[in-house]
């Protein structure tokens, strides 16, 4: 791999869209800002909330169907968080 080359698995696109983050089962979702996203990860700006290493992001919008996706934090820098996509969330009620 060449120095200075982007090592991401999939290309990111700028988004700058509000989303909801859920930090634990049964907790209320809180606001966050998705600054960029790809098929393999996301970059968030989150203030006033302690983010655990694993969380669920609730996305919706014109080009994003309403989804709940599980992520794992890979880096932190101030209010910025980079996280890797772990899988879509499947709710128990949705399976019945």
Where residue 62 falls (left for φ over 0; alpha for ψ -120 to 50; beta otherwise) is: alpha
Residue 25 confidence (pLDDT) = 84
pLDDT digit string, tens, across residues 27-85? 999 999 999 999 999 999 999 999 999 999 998 765 555 689 999 999 999 999 999 99
Alpha-carbon distances of 31 from 2, 11, 64, rounded to whole Å: 38, 25, 17
Q: Give the start-to-end residue ranges of the domains of the chain.
A: 13-89
Residue 74 near residue 95, CB atoms below 8 Å:
no
CATH superfamily assigned to domain 13-89: predicted glycosyltransferase like domains (2.40.10.220)
pLDDT of residue 92: 47
């Amino acid at each position: 791999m060449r120095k200075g080359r982007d090592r991401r698995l999939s290309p990111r696109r700028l988004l700058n869209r509000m989303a909801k983050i859920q930090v634990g089962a049964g907790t209320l979702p809180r606001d966050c800002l998705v600054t960029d996203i790809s098929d393999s990860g996301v970059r968030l700006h989150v203030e006033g909330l302690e983010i655990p290493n694993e969380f669920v992001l609730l996305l919706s919008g014109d080009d994003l169907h309403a989804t709940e996706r599980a992520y794992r934090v890979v880096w932190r820098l101030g209010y910025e968080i980079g996280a890797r996509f772990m899988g879509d969330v499947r709710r128990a009620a949705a399976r019945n």
